[in-house]
Amino acid sequence: MSRGHTQTSEDPDRAIPWLTTIASLAVGAAFLALWFWLLPSWLGFQVDTTGAARWRWLAAVPSVLGFAVALRCIWDFGWTGRGTPMPLAPPQRLVAVGFYRYVRNPMYVAFFVGWAGLWIIFGRANLFAIASACAAVLAVRLFVMLYEEPTLRKKFGPDYDEYRKNVPRWLPRLRPWHK
């Protein structure tokens, strides 16, 4: 190729990360919107904050940070993994970048922190809501252990095994893991 000459056809492989990232963000946004629509009623969320203690608004900090981390993880699924968080269109590459270098399930941890913050701000603790939240956490744990991890082990083999040995499932490491 001579100097100053530009290539007219775009490399199709360069478009793939953008397309999968956009798809991942769309799936993530739909998932987040669904949970914002469904959860408030059954977790006892109530937007009326008259009489609520002002200290409860401090929980907005971990809530915002939690949802920001979740969005970054969704981005990593699309950009690095070339897939989405949805099992029907999973990542094609093992995602071990960003927050995934600290904990294997940062998206779940981030959503938990985000929702816990919102629950502190807007929620009403009652036995049904607490039991429902505990059941949801247990269901996620079982889903990860019984479906996600075996699926990832089959798909990514020794790379996933090495990742699994070095990065904890739920509690983040203090330093990022580097392969």
Count each helix (H run) and each strand (E run) in the chain, helices first.
5, 0
Give the count of beta carbons closer than 10 Å to the beta carbon of residue 148. 16
Nearest to 121, CA basis, from 41, 61, 37: 61
- The residue with greater pLDDT, 178 or 87, is 178
Alpha carbons 57 and 117: distance in angstroms, whole number:
9
User: Quick one: what percent of the chain has pLDDT higher than 90?
Assistant: 34
How far apart (Å, rounded) are the C-alpha atoms in residues 101 and 163? Answer: 9
- pTM: predicted TM-score of the whole model, two decimal places: 0.72
Token code pair at residue 59: 């929980």
Q: Does the pLDDT value for residue 109 go beyond 70? A: yes
Indicate the DSSP class of residue 22: H
